[in-house]
Amino acid sequence: MTLEEMQALVDRGPYLHWLGLRVLALGEDSIEASATWREEWVASTRLMQTHGGILASLIDFAADFALVSRIGHGVPTIDLRIDYHRLAKAGDLIVKGQVIKHGRQFSTCEAQIHQEGKLIASGRGTYITTPAPSA
């Protein structure tokens, strides 16, 4: 899958489009994207902190789409664990996803979010990669 094809796939999803995702790099088992900051992401106006749910969504996106590079389509998430390392302030974010283990039934992937070179959040997801039954 090319970078342009992956971006087209991302743009088809209304939520992913709303997150302002731009695919920056693509490998066989990895993806890197930027997320354009939006005021609606703010959880605390006093701190101008990005909501943890947005960060969790970005982790899930990058982990899932690292698999898309290999198998050509999105897959359902069955488990997701997020670690928050520091506050994400107002500003764009970089998210990187990597396949850890690709299996016939289940796959495991990890992702990290960075802002201004600092690790903001990381996580690991498990995804169903069993082929869909024929129609």
- Per residue in 49-72, pLDDT (tens digit) is 999 999 999 999 999 999 987 888
Would you say residue 12 has pLDDT above 90?
Answer: yes
Q: Can you read off the two tokens belonging to residue 124?
A: 């690991």
- pLDDT band for position 134 (50/70/90)? low
- pLDDT band for position 128 (50/70/90)? very high
Q: Which residues of 68-77 are buried (b: 16+ CB within 10 A; e: fewer)?
A: bbeeeebbee
Question: Which CA distances in Å does 93 have to 3, 32, 39, 45?
Answer: 19, 11, 13, 18
Length of the chain: 135
- pLDDT band for position 11 (50/70/90)? very high
Q: Which has the minimum average pLDDT: 20-29, 70-79, 90-99?
A: 70-79
Helix 3-12 and helix 52-71: axis angle, to 10°?
A: 130
The values of phi and psi at residue 58, to 5°, are -65, -40
Mean pLDDT of 85-103: 95
Q: pTM to 2 decimals?
A: 0.93
Tell me the pLDDT of the chain averaged across its residues: 93
Reply yes or no on domain 3-128 having CATH 3.10.129.10: yes
Residue showing tokens 């990187």:
96
